[in-house]
Amino acid sequence: MGRVALVTGGSRGIGEAISKALKADGFEVAATYAGNDEKAAAFTAATGIKTYKWNVADYEASAAGIAQVEADLGPIDVVVANAGITRDAPFHKMSPEHWKEVVDTNLTGVFNTIHPVWPGMRERKFGRVVVISSINGQKGQFGQVNYAATKAGDLGIVRSLAQEGARAGITANAVCPGYIDTDMMKAVPEKVLNDVILPQIPAGRLGQPEEIARCVAFLASEEAGFINGSTISANGAQFFS
């Protein structure tokens, strides 16, 4: 049996492309989703990839869901913490709810996703952790104090885990996508996208989910064992860090 990979938010957008890429590379993939049953069922029908429903912001739900995945598919060797949300607003309009929802999902959700699989990876002396951060965690973004803070925090998680896991054969790396053509972009007003964002991307276009999935598949591979604590940026030359 192949290695098992868990992808949170793995039935839509960037996560969908990651799930498919890992399956193509021979992984047994479990994809989680939070709410869209219809899309998840269509995804499973099209790909044969099992989906599991839980809210990554909930530790107990994550731990129980992960235990179910391991009972079904075997120990998880690769975990891709991809699930994320935006609640964009200029800071003076940002509510405590906007802040909390994003922190609970994008930052605490990453803890909740990795923490239950970490002991098994340590025991088996193998693991690949990949966290989907963001260009906006690297550079900050007007309207995204909450999101940028969580995505910067995700880099702190990865860099710390890399040091803790290295001797146990576990790597932890981040991918920082730039602006990618997914449903998440639909929350951005069209005028802002065309007049402000696109002119800032030297590639002159949004990225495609598959272009992020290739980065993840590489980091998840056996051959990437000495790449640990790194950040791969895929942003069409919009930002260098």
Interface with ligand CAA, residue 103, by CB under 6 A: no
Q: What are phi and psi of 202, to 5 degrees?
A: -55, -30
Hey, CA dihedral for 214, 220, 226, 232, is it positive or negative?
positive
Interface with ligand CAA, residue 171, by CB under 6 A: no
- In contact, 171 and 179? CB cutoff 8 Å: no
Q: How many other CB atoms sit within 10 Å of the CB of residue 223?
A: 7
The greatest distance separating any two alpha carbons of the chain, rounded to the nearest whole angstrom, comes to 52
Choose which of 11, 82, 136, 150 interacts with ligand CAA (CB under 6 A): 136
Cα separation, 64 vs 100, whole angstroms = 23
Active site residues: 147
Q: Provide, rounded to whole angstroms, the least separation between the CB of residue 43 and ligand CAA.
A: 21
Interface with ligand CAA, residue 92, by CB under 6 A: no
Interface with ligand CAA, residue 196, by CB under 6 A: yes
Amino acid in the structure at residue 39: K
Choose which of 26, 142, 203, 225 interacts with ligand CAA (CB under 6 A): 142
Q: Which residue is nearest to ligand CAA (CB)?
A: 143
Interface with ligand CAA, residue 11, by CB under 6 A: no
Interface with ligand CAA, residue 208, by CB under 6 A: no
Choose which of 11, 62, 82, 86 interacts with ligand CAA (CB under 6 A): 86
Choose which of 64, 94, 184, 198 interacts with ligand CAA (CB under 6 A): 184
Cα separation, 232 vs 60, whole angstroms = 31
Interface with ligand CAA, residue 237, by CB under 6 A: no
Which residues are 115's β-sheet partners? Answer: none
Residue 6: name the closest of 70, 84, 71 by CA: 70
Q: Provide, rounded to whole angstroms, the least separation between the CB of residue 87 and ligand CAA.
A: 9
